[in-house]
Chains A and B, each alone.
Chain A
């Protein structure tokens, strides 16, 4: 028994001990040799945090002022340039509000995760602004939106039926991003961030190419990333629908000239509509009732599907992958040892412990993928409901969920021209 215990002790000690080697003694110098001194400075993150948050607040303030007081696009364009230059190229794009969703979500479920204050502020400040004034953050403060806006030259319209359906994607992206963040697998939003490689002048070539494709697309259509991918935009969309102050195309009465509708790069201006459908009101009500009833079914279906897929989804997790590698290795004893497997053994870990931690990961994957499935089902159901609501409009109206506050419509409205002339 004693021997068994000592051998166990040796096994445990083998990993860390093996690395603390001192094969050669420290030399005794006779010539009065002095050890060189090195100093390694750690950058002052506090200072940068203060600068970043101040710049964020100032830029948001300028956009808000330009949208609500000045009613002109000039300052917003300037803010876009500053944002792309500062947040984009100079600060390298990290941390951004879009990615901060993951950190916030992780902080809520993982008590061991420490949430840096800058990340929290970058998450909450644009949301607060959206609650007050709409998506002023998207207008030009977000470097991603700004860079797409800056290269935008001529707009071709996308069918609203298609773009309406595509606007579900950010929610699905959000659901998966949360799933992978909460299971500590990886930050999907950061991994597949299309513009960060361009800002940093380097990175994964595939993702950079995707970013370039998006930029080429945004020359001819407004902000494809913001509209069809950005998960933070999805959150801001919901918040800004309920915003307290709302931007108006013109303070004067609308003359229904249709010019603003044409000017909008994100198709957020809805034309007047008489609401004369061929359907009887009861048919419409019936449809809404059916979709209301289908909503829980959709949520359930989403939950079940993602729960079933959770073992596959979990394979992105390093612990699960390591388990696969180690079991594969132990089954075949291949001569080539993956570095992961080598590290696994050299750290003195064993299969039982790895299996336990893998099962833990799988468990959390089951839980969170169920929740993600519910979220996706809910979003699809709500989208269907939203698309079944009939509502008439007498004049051109802004869809506040989609309006990014680029202020392009101001220049187009003839009423504003008159206003300016009168001043």
Chain B
């Protein structure tokens, strides 16, 4: 009789325990997976709210969701706790009733499964041990062999051997080409772009939908372009003075002769709504630049092939943005800083300290105010995009900083205080031993930072005065110059000064370096060429003009615009042979942007594109 009761209790508790444990397990996995406090939906909504403030409906939604998720979290937590106690009690009862049920059953197995002969058992067991350990040992040996350096080298050799011979023939010259640091830097740009793609893929799910939309639009656009328009050039010009802000471009076939007045080899001309001294940037089919006046600050995107103004994004409604414009010099303006892009996002900063970031379709991703710069001429440092962060050289008279913001959400990745006074110089990325250094010039030092975390790699006190030019780098050497001080060459490995010279010094225009030569353009019209290794002045040309725009080394030639609007082209061989000059008649302060077969120039009158295809 009792036995029956125990059996029934056991059956009931067993059913209960099983259902309860299944419920608990599903609850556990749901809670673990959903992490109620960090739902994608809530995060997306919050980010949306960051972008466009004063949307009470959205805020209401966030509040509701937040309440729900918190309740879910705490409720599921307490449920899990009580559930587990309940389950334990159930199992206790189950085991107890089972024990009572089997209480009077003596443990007598039906029959012995082993042979009666003990010796046979032992022999069998011995065999099992032998075989088992043999199998284990072989497995261990195999694993050790598979991961041994000998095998991996063998495998890679085999893979290389089995490759198509044409392919290896193709790939070898590339490897040979990539021997110098500057060429590595170029390769680095390509890598940056692919890394950017990867970053876009690994973005938070909240942004993923936006990103896929954007990329979808991009591919559609690309398909469209492939169908009807010319091929989109691959060479980018990601910001001030090109990729890495280093004054070099791998663009080819820049037209040697053109005429702005007659329109020969001019693809298009466009006007720019608001003024600015910043330089254009090119990525894919887009040309980016910014403009600002007292009434507003805007980021523009033009079509590279047609010159059509594709979109305008206004930097307005940013919390912390000053209502009154900071006092700026007329020569600087409110939009002296050039924009930066990586082909996924584009960022622009203004003299008010407002920074905005948009995708390629002009949708605002984020915007913030990093603080109104305390700068007596006006903030002028250009942005620089490195990987998935945008770097801001925020040198000013009261609280100088160097900041790296996350491109996808504008959060500060790292920030380093700088004791520098206000400067108008822009950061650059230098590759030393194939590793990137973020080189920043200010008063009183040129400093190299680790772009990943902002740690200082080296610092050289060698500047003073009002630093307007930006540093440049090539072949592991970093060059910086400022008027009334020095042109300094620094070894990027340890920060030791290689040489100094002060024959010709720039005021606004930044120097540029090739592997062997360093070029300096002064504001009084002298272009000078120094030997990069020794610092010896090897050539000089007095052109009787003014240089504010920075020289660029493109396709083995040196391109530089004078303020008066003449483009000079020189040989890059240490002799400064004038290859040609083109007078446009339009005052030019900005540095032109280059891509294959094309050059986009911002003059005081507007924007135009030089192209051999037109």
Contact = CB atoms under 8 A, between A and B. Distances in A.
Decide if A and B are genuine partners: yes
Contact of A384 (B121, B126, B497): B126
Contacts of A275: 118-119
Contacts of A384: 126, 129-130
A87 to B, nearest CB: 16
A113 interface: no
B143 A4 contact: no
23 contacts: A3-B458, A4-B494, A4-B495, A10-B458, A150-B95, A153-B102, A160-B121, A162-B128, A164-B129, A165-B129, A168-B129, A263-B106, A273-B117, A275-B119, A308-B141, A309-B140, A312-B147, A336-B202, A348-B455, A387-B122, A390-B119, A408-B107, A412-B107
A54 interface: no
Contacts of A316: none
B67 interface: no
Interface string A361-394: 0000000000000000000100110011010000
Interface stretch (A97-105, A238-246, A327-335): A327-335
Interface in B438-497: 450, 452-453, 455-461, 494-497
Contacts of B176: none
A305 B129 contact: no
Interface in A309-342: 309, 311-312, 330, 333-337, 342
Nearest to B149: A311
Interface stretch (B108-116, B306-314, B323-331, B596-604): B108-116
Contact of B109 (A161, A262, A383, A412): A262
A262 B129 contact: no
A14 B114 contact: no
Interface string B275-299: 0000000000000000000000000
B457 A11 contact: yes
Contacts of A161: 114, 121-122, 124-125, 128
B452 A345 contact: yes
Q: Is the interface of A mostly helix, strand, loop or mixed?
A: helix
Contacts, number: 155
A129 B55 CA distance: 74
B132 interface: yes
Contact of A165 (B81, B125, B202): B125
Contacts of A330: 435
A11 B107 contact: no
B199 interface: yes
A417 interface: no
B496 A387 contact: no
Contacts of B496: 3-4
Interface stretch (B154-162, B190-198, B249-257): B190-198
Given A150-B95, A161-B121, A7 B107 contact: no
Question: Which 6 A/B pairs are nearest by Cβ-Cβ distance?
Answer: A165-B128, A161-B124, A164-B125, A7-B458, A335-B387, A387-B126
Given A156-B109, A165-B125, A301 B459 contact: no
B28 interface: yes
Nearest to B108: A262
Nearest to B87: A201
Nearest to B98: A153
Interface in A287-315: 298, 301-302, 305-306, 308-309, 311-312
A262 B459 contact: no
Nearest to B416: A18
Interface string A158-177: 01111011001000000000
B112 A388 contact: no
Contacts of B140: 305-306, 309
A155 interface: yes
Contact of A305 (B125, B144, B455): B144
A55 interface: no
A6 to B, nearest CB: 7
A257 to B, nearest CB: 11
Given A161-B128, A165-B125, A336-B202, A301 B137 contact: yes
A275 B122 CA distance: 12
B125 A387 contact: yes
B388 interface: yes
Interface of B: 28, 81, 84-85, 88, 95, 98-99, 102, 105-109, 112-114, 117-119, 121-126, 128-130, 132-133, 137, 140-141, 143-144, 147-148, 188, 191, 195-196, 198-199, 202, 387-388, 416, 435-436, 450, 452-453, 455-461, 494-497
A55 B453 CA distance: 53
A2 B143 CA distance: 52
Contacts of B121: 159-161, 164
Nearest to B29: A205
Contacts of A219: 98
Contacts of B95: 150-151, 153
A273 B115 CA distance: 12
Given A150-B95, A156-B109, A162-B128, A7 B495 contact: yes
Given A165-B129, A305-B144, A157 B98 contact: no
A159 B114 contact: yes
Contact of A7 (B141, B199, B202, B459): B459
A93 to B, nearest CB: 15
A155 B109 contact: yes
A194 to B, nearest CB: 16
A160 B124 CA distance: 9
A14 B98 CA distance: 66
Nearest to B453: A345
A312 B107 contact: no
B129 A263 contact: no
Given A157-B112, A162-B128, A387-B129, A263 B195 contact: no
B459 A10 contact: yes
Contacts of B435: 330, 333
Given A154-B107, A345-B450, A11 B122 contact: no
A95 to B, nearest CB: 23
Given A160-B121, A333-B387, A335-B199, 6 more contacts: A6-B459, A164-B122, A335-B387, A335-B388, A384-B130, A387-B125
A270 interface: yes
A346 interface: yes
Nearest to B114: A160
Nearest to A287: B126
B502 to A, nearest CB: 19
A280 interface: no
Contacts of A305: 137, 140-141, 144
Nearest to A21: B417
A380 B135 CA distance: 13
A422 interface: no
Contact of B126 (A342, A388, A408): A388
A388 B122 CA distance: 7
A348 B453 CA distance: 11
A76 B140 CA distance: 43
